[in-house]
């Protein structure tokens, strides 16, 4: 079976120094069918000055890589949009005027606080921190479902559904499953309604956390609610992590009764059987 890594970064993201060619070579060495670069697009006023998203440069570099490696691996151009409700007009206008194979919606902020800045959650307990994050994801996905109802579908994949678990582990040592079935159901239902495919993000597995984002319980619930396919993403910021731990992610999908991977080209969904 040939797999696609649809979430990874290169030197075209502010927090990554990897030449994109190294990611491509790793994907070929690991036998992936394809990789899609999803560089950060961070529009919050406090982050925008440091966001280095340069669409012309990215397009130029990926075209050159396709010319050299395109007969061995599919090289996609994506984007990881940091959800900012106050900046949606700007984000949607940008997406409408640029071309992507896949657009990831990622929630990195919860109600105007970046979730990785734990000092901004001073006095908040673990359960409240996690619920606050999931409430933000529920609100974001509800907005995308609303867009779908009015005929717009600018986002394809929901990135790292329970991203706050990464920081809950760092701050509280938390490594359990989520205990918020109401919010998990709300998020998954919104995704299904919005046509937004959740990814399995394997980056936590290389950071001493026992489950990817999301973990097996959420994947199982997604299947129970009618989900049929998911996307795989390593969130690699270093080339050696491209395609990392996909075998574990596939095992979780199979255990949940899911049999297809979601792959996006030119914004169109196709599925790859995983059996
Ligand atoms: Zn992210
Ligand atoms: Zn990412």
Q: Structure tokens of 64?
A: 């050159």
Q: What does each of the 275 residues of the chain score in pLDDT, given as a tens digit?
A: 689 999 999 999 999 999 999 999 999 999 999 999 999 999 999 999 999 899 999 999 999 999 999 999 999 999 999 999 999 999 999 999 999 999 999 999 999 999 999 999 999 999 999 999 999 999 999 999 999 999 999 999 999 999 999 999 999 999 989 999 999 999 999 999 999 999 999 999 999 999 999 999 999 999 999 999 999 999 999 999 999 999 999 999 999 999 999 999 999 999 999 97
Whole-number Å distance between alpha carbons of 210 and 172: 15
CATH of the domain at 60: 3.20.20.140
Nearest alpha-carbon partner for 166 in 237, 108, 240: 108
Which ligand is closest in space to the CA of residue 39? 2
Distance from the Cα of residue 151 to its chain's centroid: 23
Tell me, in angstroms, the distance from the centre of ligand 1 to residue 163's CA: 8
Ligand nearest to the CA of 236: 2
Token digits of residue 260: 């297809």
Q: Please tell me the total count of domains within the chain.
A: 1
Query: How far is the centre of ligand 2, averaged over its atoms, from the C-alpha of 93 (Å)?
Result: 21
Per-chain residues with Cβ under 5 A from ion ligand 2: 80, 235
Angle at 136 between CA 113 and CA 90, to 5 degrees: 75
Q: Which ligand is nearest to the CA of 82?
A: 1
Q: Is residue 42 helix, strand or coil?
A: coil
Provide the domain limits for residue 253.
4-273
In the structure, ligand 1 is a single-atom ion and the residues with CB under 5 Å from it are 106
Backbone angles phi, psi at 8, to 5 degrees: -160, 165
- Interval between CA 80 and ligand 2 midpoint (Å): 6
188 alpha-carbon distance from chain centroid: 15
Q: How far apart are CA 51 and CA 49, in angstroms?
A: 6
State the pLDDT at residue 52.
Answer: 87
């Amino acid at each position: 079976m040939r797999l696609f890594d649809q979430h990874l970064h290169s030197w075209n993201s502010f927090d990554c120094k990897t030449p994109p060619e190294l990611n491509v070579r790793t994907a070929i060495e690991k036998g992936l069918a394809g990789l899609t670069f999803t560089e950060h697009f961070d529009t919050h006023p406090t982050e925008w000055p440091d966001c280095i998203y340069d669409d012309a440069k990215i397009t130029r570099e990926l075209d050159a890589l396709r010319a050299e490696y395109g007969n061995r691996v599919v090289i996609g151009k994506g984007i990881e949009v940091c959800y900012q409700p106050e900046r949606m007009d700007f984000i949607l206008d940008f997406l409408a005027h640029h071309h992507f194979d896949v657009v990831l919606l990622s929630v990195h902020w919860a109600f105007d606080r970046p979730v990785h800045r734990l000092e901004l959650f001073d006095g908040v307990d673990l359960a409240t921190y996690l619920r606050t994050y999931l409430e933000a994801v529920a609100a974001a996905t509800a907005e995308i479902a609303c867009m779908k109802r009015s005929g717009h579908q600018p986002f394809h994949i929901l990135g790292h559904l329970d991203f706050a678990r990464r920081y809950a582990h760092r701050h509280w040592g938390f490594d359990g499953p989520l205990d918020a079935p109401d919010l998990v159901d709300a998020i998954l239902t919104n995704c299904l309604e919005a046509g937004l495919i959740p990814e399995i993000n394997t980056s936590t597995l290389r950071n001493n956390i026992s489950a990817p984002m999301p973990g097996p319980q959420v994947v199982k619930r997604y299947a129970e609610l009618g989900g049929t396919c998911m996307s795989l993403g390593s969130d690699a910021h270093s080339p050696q992590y491209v395609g990392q731990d996909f075998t574990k992610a596939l095992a979780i999908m199979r255990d949940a009764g899911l049999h297809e991977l979601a792959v996006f080209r030119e914004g169109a969904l196709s599925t790859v059987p995983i059996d």
